[in-house]
Amino acid sequence: MDAAAPVKKPWTSTVSSPPSGQHVEVAIPKLAVAETTKVVTVEKGNSPLRTVGFIVGGVGVAGAVAATVTGIMLLDAKSTADERCTPRCIDQTGVDAVNRGETLLPINAVAWAVAAVGIGVGTLLVLKAPSSTTSANGSPRLHVAARGLRVAF
């Protein structure tokens, strides 16, 4: 016969089988508290530096998308301006294309700068952030004992 409960010492006893038609009463004592300790490794959350790295990298990716879109718009404006403004603009469509190109050019340059800096700095921050997993040397550990929890460093 066996009895067990969480954080308690198991109890075992041997009972002989009674003759047919008879009953045997077995008293199970109050189980003693187990004194064993288990070590459970706890994972730390992401480092704030890592989180900032992902945010900055995301801004860099958004800058790359903006630079790509404005670059395509610039190529379209240049194509229109080349058709309608050689050597002078022949209609309002050509003038509008030139104006659009003059507006989009600095926006495109800034977007590429944001992309380069954001992706570069974001990558650096993510790579330099402390690891999110714990190791056996000096990292927090959670001890589960019979009388509660204890965190050791």
One-letter-per-residue 3-state SS of the chain: CEECCCCECCEECCCCCCCCCCCCCCCCCCCCECCCCEEEECCCCCCHHHHHHHHHHHHHHHHHHHHHHHHHHHHHHHHHHHHHCCCCCCCHHHHHHHHHHHHHHHHHHHHHHHHHHHHHHHHHHHHHCCCCCCCCCCCCEEEEECCEEEEEC
Give residue-wise pLDDT tens across range 69-120: 999 999 999 999 999 998 899 999 999 999 999 999 999 999 999 999 999 9
Task: Tell me which amino acid residue 66 is.
Answer: A
Q: What is the pLDDT of residue 153?
A: 42
Q: What is the pLDDT of residue 3?
A: 79
Q: What is the pLDDT of residue 84?
A: 92
Give residue-wise pLDDT tens across range 109-153: 999 999 999 999 999 999 998 865 444 445 555 555 555 555 444
Give the mean model confidence (pLDDT) for residues 13-42: 76
Q: pTM of the entire structure? A: 0.56
Give residue-wise pLDDT tens across range 1-11: 777 777 778 88
User: Domain residues of the chain, as ranges?
Assistant: 48-128
